[in-house]
Amino acid sequence: MLEIKNLSKSYTGKRALNDVSLTIPRGEIVGLFGENGAGKTTLMKCILGFHGYSGDITLDGAPITTKNIAKISFATSEHSFFPNLSPQGHKEFYEEHFPDFSEKRFNGLMDFFELPKHRALKNFSTGQKNQFEVILALCQGADYILMDEPFAGNDVFNREDFYKVLLGILEPNETVLLSTHLIEEVSEFIGRAVLIRKGKIVGDVTTMELEEEGKTLMNYIKETYNYRADRVSKALDEISGEAK
């Protein structure tokens, strides 16, 4: 279980995360949603230990250190691999450093995305690089897989097929925390939605609860954020008025 208690993080005096508490059991696919700058990426990087913070983050009751960090993997569109190394080279590197690395899953996902195994990553397109980040995260052998906007640069057909493949390959003990703006696309594949706004958790609901209430995920998010449906028309009226 991944537990976050009273987590706060500031940048140059400005709060990016404000007293965040969250519990994520094993075996869940959790969507993390929020506006740009809401704190989604900062939250993930605090879990990984990339940022200092106040509060507590534990994995199965223990602090996250070099002893258990391999239980967490990270897929990001920031491209954290070795650009001059090929996918095959990365596979060999990961096999050496992660005993639970899955060669079978690696080969299957490489074939699914139709990625070349012997070309340097620097020669991949942006979409291909993002696909490869996801492959490494899924094959590392981690119990918790964090994904931060992993599908940038991928077409809608690739994304839809990947969601289906993801559901098919995940083991019962594997957990995914997925941060994305593609809310409607992933609504059928996640089991829980966590909403963050201005560094605070403002919503936490299962998709089953939404179904029982007859709500869509998008409607729930709009209600939680107090979305104003008339904001576009008002802006256009003001702009048109100024133009006149």
Going by pLDDT thresholds of 50, 70 and 90, the confidence category of residue 243 is low
Average the pLDDT over 190-210 and give the result: 96
Spatial separation of the C-alpha atoms in residues 23 and 217, rounded to whole Å: 20
The better pLDDT of the pair 141, 152 is held by 141
Are 106 and 113 within 8 A, CB to CB? no
Read off the pLDDT of residues 81-129 as tens digits, 9 standing for 90 and up.
899 999 999 999 999 999 999 999 999 999 999 999 999 999 999 889 9
Distance CA 159, CA 155 (A): 6
Do 118 and 151 contact (CB within 8 A), yes or no? no
At 141, list the tokens.
Answer: 């052998």
- 75 has pLDDT over 60: yes
> How much is the pLDDT for 164?
87
Label residue 229 by pLDDT band (50, 70, 90).
low
pLDDT band at 242 (very low <50, low <70, confident <90, very high): low
**Among 151, 6, 177, CA closest to 77:** 151
Q: Which residue has the higher pLDDT, 108 or 151?
A: 108
| CA–CA dist 109, 101 (Å, integer) | 13
Q: Across 25-156, where does the E strand assignment appear?
A: 29-33, 54-59, 62-63, 72-76, 144-148
pLDDT digits (tens, 9 = 90+) for 4-63: 999 999 998 889 999 999 999 999 999 999 998 999 999 999 999 999 999 999 999 999
| pLDDT given at position 135 | 94
Q: How confident is the model at residue 226 (pLDDT cuts 50, 70, 90)?
A: confident
